[in-house]
Amino acid sequence: MTEPTPEHKFKGNLSVLDVVMITASGVTPASSIFVIAPLAIASAGSGAFISFLIAAFIAATIALCYAELGAAHPSAGGEYSIIKRLFGTLCGLQTYLFILSAALFVPAVLATGAVPYLNTALGTQFDASTAGMITILIGGACAIFNIKANALLTGTFLVVEIAVLGLIAWLGFSTPHQSADILVAPVMLNPEGVLAPVSVPLIVAMVGVALFSYNGYGAAVYMAEDMREQGKPMATAIMLTLAIVVLVELLPFTALLIGAPSLAEMAKQADPVGYVVSQLGGPTLARVVSGAIYLSVFNAIIAIVAQFSRMMFSSGRDGFWLPQVNRALKIIHPRFGTPWIATLLFGIPSALLAFCSNLGDLTSFTVILLLLVYIIMAVAALISRRRVRFHHPYLMPLWPLPVAIALIGCLYVLWTILIASSLKDFIIIAGILCFGLLLSYMRTRQAIPHVEPSIEGE
């Protein structure tokens, strides 16, 4: 890859704390609890707690892979740049398409899932698809502004978000209605409307949803070229982000289960988390919390668009697309220092996806893509350290045990999800693979210089 020219470089003014604030805001722990966790509760009851514990352990091993690779291969392209460097352009391109597809779905999942909370806070009846689309468009526009300003904005929102989750944790733990036994001997509402033990396959199946709720800590790698220092600080940012995310998600989630006045009633609710908050804190507090949840999602969208627009910038710099597209993606805003065209090209399609499917379908397919990316990164963590020409300023402890755990865990969870997936999911994945092969072929044709055929006798 050619060295980027100065006009195609970032300013490199972010500290580790700045990167953590942006990345943790992209994970948006509050929306994970209020938008993603209810899907796990509906499917596995209080067994979702075990799912989240298992997912936290697997996420820690995946984060170690990201930390070592991100420190060794710093680039705004993140995962795809790492894979391209280790395995070649075709593998890097396919990884890029998987990540981009998953990334486009994430704001749609969060925004459509957050609109009911906006309606609760304001007493309105906004359509989830329309309001979700508008939320993504406004958040994407904010992501064009200076990255340092975005770090301060998202950091402020993150503090408020953590404060709200702390309040929820206090409500649940201070007024417990359930025994801690429901966490180790989980129950759920069966078809007859009675609480019954949760099966192990259901708990395992929800590990994928729990991994999705934690997902985003690895996105710190997209900020590598925005950081003042590279190497170990990147590893620190990734591991610190994951620690914050697990802590601020798992504690309030546990408190909600313990504080639920009735597990049976909670399981019947379309918004089980809102039900518990209303019962424990009253309707006024529920409205305030709902407003905070919507703002946390808006904050997350700013962070997510800021992160993944840098990946799109890097793809243009690496010449992944047609020349005109590559030139557009590489343009940096002269005032804000951000890839503003890449930001728009990411934010607008993501907003349109809010119209395409329901929350459950969006979440299920996104989890499949994320697991595929995790598996690819775990394989890369096995290979990278063996390539002696690459400097590794950070080395994960107990290598390769964390990598093996990440691989086995992700492969098993992926298998449990795929056997229950629809044909549509397989068709879309196959389509992504075929598009990658086609794009690789087109790039290869462009790279071959055209030679005029010689005329015999000349």
**How close are the terminal C-alpha atoms of the chain, in Å?**
39
Residue 457 has pLDDT above 60, yes or no: no
pTM of model > 0.85: no
Task: Please give the average per-residue pLDDT across 284-300, as a whole number.
Answer: 85
Beta bridge partners of 196: 188
Q: How far apart are CA 363 and CA 357, in angstroms?
A: 10
Residues above pLDDT 70, as percent of the chain: 91
pLDDT confidence bin for 358, thresholds 50/70/90? low
pLDDT confidence bin for 453, thresholds 50/70/90? very low
> What is the reported pLDDT for 10?
55
> What is the reported pLDDT for 452?
45
Which residue from 365, 410, 335 is spatially nearest to 57, judged by alpha carbons? Answer: 410
CB atoms inside a 10 Å sphere around CB 203: 23
pLDDT confidence bin for 451, thresholds 50/70/90? very low
Residue 264 has pLDDT above 90, yes or no: no
Residue 100 has pLDDT above 90, yes or no: no
Residue 7 has pLDDT above 60, yes or no: no
Residue 292 has pLDDT above 50, yes or no: yes
> What is the reported pLDDT for 357?
58
Task: Please give the average per-residue pLDDT across 431-444, as a whole number.
Answer: 86
> What is the reported pLDDT for 54?
96
3-class SS string, 339-400: CHHHHHHHHHHHHHHHHCCCHHHHHHHHHHHHHHHHHHHHHHHHHHCCCCCCCCCCCCCCCC
Instruction: Out of 172-181, 274-283, 331-340, give the one with best mean pLDDT.
Output: 172-181
> What is the reported pLDDT for 449?
52
> What is the reported pLDDT for 1?
42
Residue 5 has pLDDT above 60, yes or no: no
| Lookup result for tokens 């090209």 | 345
Residues above pLDDT 90, as percent of the chain: 30
Whether residue 205 contacts residue 416, with contact meaning beta carbons closer than 8 Å, is answered with yes
Q: How far apart are CA 139 and CA 149, in angstroms?
A: 14
All residues at 6 or more sequence positions from 453 whose CB lies less than 8 Å from its CB, including other chains: none
Residue 384 has pLDDT above 60, yes or no: yes
| Lookup result for tokens 């840098």 | 310
pLDDT confidence bin for 361, thresholds 50/70/90? low
Average pLDDT, the chain: 85
Q: Give how far Cα 240 sits from Cα of 124, 156, 235, Å.
A: 38, 18, 8
> What is the reported pLDDT for 268?
81
Convert the pLDDT of each residue in 310-334 to its tens digit: 878 888 887 878 788 888 888 888 8
> What is the reported pLDDT for 235?
94
Residue 164, classed as helix, strand or coil, is helix
Whether residue 410 contacts residue 378, with contact meaning beta carbons closer than 8 Å, is answered with yes
Residue 137 has pLDDT above 80, yes or no: yes
Convert the pLDDT of each residue in 166-218 to its tens digit: 888 999 999 999 999 999 999 998 888 788 999 998 899 899 989 989 988 99
Which residue from 408, 398, 422 is spatially nearest to 207, judged by alpha carbons? Answer: 408
CB atoms inside a 10 Å sphere around CB 329: 23
183 or 445, which is more confident: 183
Phi, psi of 390 (to 5 degrees): -100, 130
Convert the pLDDT of each residue in 341-353 to its tens digit: 988 889 898 888 8
